[in-house]
Structure 1
Amino acid sequence: MKQHILVIGAGFGGMWTALSATRLVDIHNRDNIQVSVLAPQAELRVRPRFYEPNAHHLAAPLGELFDVVGVNFIKGAANTIDVQAKTVGYTDAAGAEQVVHFDKLVLASGSGLAQPDTLSVTQHAFDVDQIEAAIRLETHLKALATQPESQARNTVVVAGGGFTGIETATEMPARLRAILGEQADIKVIIVDRGQKVGAAMGEAISVSIAQACTELGVEWRLGVSVQSIDANGVTLSDGQHIDAKTVIWTTGVRASSLTEQIPAERDRQGRLHVDANLKVIGQDDIFATGDVAYAASDEIGNFALMTCQHAISLGRHAGNNVAAQILGVDPTPYSQPKYVTCLDLGAWGAVYTEGWDRQVKLVKEEGKALKTQINTQWIYPPAADRVSALAAADPMIPVVA
């Protein structure tokens, strides 16, 4: 009977886990190990690009890739994990409840936007967290052209001045003008609790962010937060009301709630504590990767972030190591000491940084060229060719050279 490695999730962490596990099994020429991926769709949703227009194009099919390397795809949404029985309950494509057994489980179920319960965010705000939400926002923006001219129609408020908020806001002037016309009197406002433009991104990069926002006409409301949202705009914590037909929520991310079904320690974002091999601490047969793993990325106190940059490497290591445990060979401890960022700043360009202190290396057109290459090439799945796809899943390949 075949040993079964079950991967929950087909995002960056899940896809690379499946390929990497299959790679090591292939290297050892074993035919008694099956790798399966359980996910709602056999596609990689390119989440880092959901702030862009045309979100419906931002998903890469995985069916042919999985077929050519021998990964079994199970279409469904995981609901329950029984650690003792080694089973996962899921809802299949027809809506029926099913159960699948595993010998080794890799949780790669990702993360989602953490929306506050006290605000009418779900009712009145948009977000770019998932592809359906990004498509909903695009539909709304296009419909603005049918509304009467008003300042509220032409105003977008972005709640949160972190990575997603900045990329969403700086892209918005071009998106709005494409819909409302080049002469439209548009207004884009970032609401952030920080005391300085781009404060959440660090001192070195904030200069570029401020310059880009000034040139693009993106305003900041600093030292305040969104207190409430209604159909006509937002009220800030200082009592100010901003008329806006479009409010985009970008603050806070939390790991998949499936992590709560694993008896183990979690961090404040719900991520499971894992060891150097990405095995969940306290569990013999369960690994975690991508956005659900709280993993040390180096030996000086840094931990992987909820980014595709880290998820790709985490996935390659998790897949390799879960297979290594079955095969009885040495694992490859996860290590990702080099950290970079490439922040898109709309028509101004982009800014590329290196190191955890985000030292600026490229700006404007040079930064944009790199960002475009990352977004359209580097983060996409490998071609559906068995040899090259498995070779690309080697955990020793650096995500950032």
Structure 2
Amino acid sequence: MRKQIVIVGAGFAGMWAALSAARLADKHQQAIDITVIAPQPELRVRPRFYEKDVQTLVAPLQPLFDVTGVKFLPGTVEQILPGCKQISWKEASGETHQCRYDRLILASGSQINRGSVAGAAEYAFDLDRLESAVRLEQHLKSLSDQAESEARNTVVVCGGGFTGIEMALELPGRLREILGHDAKTRVVVVERGAEPGGRWSKALREVIGEASAELGVEWLVNAEVESVNASGVTLKDGRTLASQTVIWTVGVQANGLTTQIDAPRDRQGRLHVTTELQVVGHPEIYATGDVAYAATDDKGNHALMTCQHAILLGKFAGNNAAASLLDIAPLPYRQEMYVTCLDLGAWGAVYTEGWDQQVKLTREEAKKLKMSIVSELIYPPKAEKAVAFEIADPLAPFV
């Protein structure tokens, strides 16, 4: 019976896991069935969901899967049964199927958790999924149809992480386009830390502060959200912010499928993995992307929930899952180089290198690099087998 690798998810990690596994099987001329299960055969470019025209930020995957011999099944995995090496998945029609595996690669991603704050799930927008990002964009466009008011003109971004910053600094320009250059708009970031970008290097914090000041983005630091309603936000210290547009960017958690595997998880629900990306205690299951708590080096650093790490994690997971079926030595995952490239709206961008975030480029120079990364580097390769397999090699050059 042919060996089966099943991959849950078609995001950055899932897509590259499939291509990497197919590459190794092809290289050794071994027949392994590689199947990806996801709602649709497309890569949704989530790191760009703060931009406008968000519905265009997808890339088709079916042609790429066809030329590389990867099978795609449209559906959603609902249950993992490690004891019998099976999963259960459901089609959009509601029909349920079972599928066996010899190796399972969990690449099901992450999602925003808003359950701890009253009203956040009902009244706050987010950039978590394409559908929700589209709803936010439609809402922003509709503001011009509303009577002018403080609430209409004010956007509150909850959370000052990278997603919150990119969204917040994009908004002044976007609001001017929608409401007119004379509109008295206000963008406020609610951050529980003591200063903007407080978890990062001093040099990066200074750039974020400079860009925010120049664009007029306000920061409320040492602040936490108590509740959200149709009128705006109430903070834990009693202050209120009138707003028709509250955007939630905090509380990211690994997909809930991780709880179905009896293995250690970190506080974000990510599964602890070995250097080969096997789930601890489950050598036949590989975790990758946002569901993997994986060491990037021997210095105590771990992969973050970013496409930068998901891409390479996917390549190593796919390679190693196939290698284990081909009796080939696996490749230990390593990603010692860490960079950030943060879009700062009309101000430009900032590019840093290293875990200590040394600022290397700012403003237009960094913006050009940012656009190159998000519009070229992170997109799928051409639907050509040789090209795809060359890039899918875990040891091929990558940032």
* TM-score after normalising by structure 1: 0.98
1:80-102 CA-partner distances (Å, limit 9, x unpaired): 00111111111113221111111
Preserved contact between residue 163 and residue 201 of structure 1 (Cα < 8 Å): no
1:35-56 CA-partner distances (Å, limit 9, x unpaired): 0000001001101001111110
Q: How does 1:251-330 map to 2 (within 5 A)?
A: 251-330=250-329
1:378-397 CA-partner distances (Å, limit 9, x unpaired): 00000000110011100002
* Structure 2 counterpart of 1:94: 93
Preserved contact between residue 155 and residue 244 of structure 1 (Cα < 8 Å): yes
For these two proteins, the number of residue pairs brought into alignment is 399
1:228-261 CA-partner distances (Å, limit 9, x unpaired): 1111111112211111110001112100100111
CA distance in 1, matches of 2:199, 2:75: 37
CA distance in 2, matches of 1:44, 1:15: 8
CA distance in 1, matches of 2:289, 2:121: 26
Preserved contact between residue 68 and residue 386 of structure 1 (Cα < 8 Å): yes
1:135-162 CA-partner distances (Å, limit 9, x unpaired): 0101111111110011110100001111
How big is the shift at 1:317?
0.3
Q: How does 1:127-138 map to 2 (within 5 A)?
A: 127-138=126-137
* Structure 2 counterpart of 1:374: 373
* Structure 1 counterpart of 2:14: 14
* Structure 2 counterpart of 1:249: 248
Within the alignment, does 1:237 sit opposite 2:241 as a pair?
no
1:363-392 CA-partner distances (Å, limit 9, x unpaired): 000010000001100000000001100111
* Structure 2 counterpart of 1:184: 183
SS at match of 2:21: helix
Amino acid at match of 1:25: A
How big is the shift at 1:263?
1.3
SS at match of 1:204: helix
Q: How does 1:334-353 map to 2 (within 5 A)?
A: 334-353=333-352
Amino acid at match of 2:167: T
Q: How does 1:137-176 map to 2 (within 5 A)?
A: 137-176=136-175
CA distance in 2, matches of 1:241, 1:396: 51
* Structure 2 counterpart of 1:83: 82
Preserved contact between residue 152 and residue 245 of structure 1 (Cα < 8 Å): yes
Amino acid at match of 1:383: K
CA distance in 1, matches of 2:97, 2:263: 25
Preserved contact between residue 279 and residue 285 of structure 1 (Cα < 8 Å): yes
* Structure 2 counterpart of 1:2: 2
How big is the shift at 1:121?
0.6
Amino-acid identity (%): 55
Query: Is the deviation greater in 249-258 or in 85-94?
Result: 85-94
Amino acid at match of 1:59: V
Amino acid at match of 2:8: I
CA distance in 2, matches of 1:11, 1:336: 19
How big is the shift at 1:117?
3.0
* Structure 1 counterpart of 2:393: 394
Within the alignment, does 1:363 sit opposite 2:374 as a pair?
no
1:126-182 CA-partner distances (Å, limit 9, x unpaired): 011111110010111111111001111010000111111100000011111111112
SS at match of 2:165: helix
Preserved contact between residue 159 and residue 251 of structure 1 (Cα < 8 Å): yes
SS at match of 1:227: strand
Within the alignment, does 1:29 sit opposite 2:1 as a pair?
no
SS at match of 1:220: strand
Amino acid at match of 2:150: Q
Preserved contact between residue 313 and residue 398 of structure 1 (Cα < 8 Å): no
How big is the shift at 1:187?
0.3
CA distance in 1, matches of 2:397, 2:94: 40
SS at match of 2:126: coil
CA distance in 2, matches of 1:200, 1:252: 16
Amino acid at match of 1:54: D
Amino acid at match of 1:393: A
* Structure 2 counterpart of 1:194: 193
Preserved contact between residue 110 and residue 256 of structure 1 (Cα < 8 Å): yes
* TM-score after normalising by structure 2: 0.99
SS at match of 2:43: strand
How big is the shift at 1:204?
2.0
Amino acid at match of 1:361: K
Preserved contact between residue 312 and residue 399 of structure 1 (Cα < 8 Å): no
Query: Is the deviation greater in 73-82 or in 200-209?
Result: 200-209
Preserved contact between residue 153 and residue 246 of structure 1 (Cα < 8 Å): yes
CA RMSD of aligned residues (A): 0.9
Query: Is the deviation greater in 323-332 or in 194-203?
Result: 194-203
Amino acid at match of 1:71: V
Amino acid at match of 1:330: A
* Structure 1 counterpart of 2:219: 220
How big is the shift at 1:114?
1.8
Amino acid at match of 2:3: Q
1:303-336 CA-partner distances (Å, limit 9, x unpaired): 1011000000000000000000000011111000
Amino acid at match of 2:24: L
Query: Is the deviation greater in 91-100 or in 155-164?
Result: 91-100
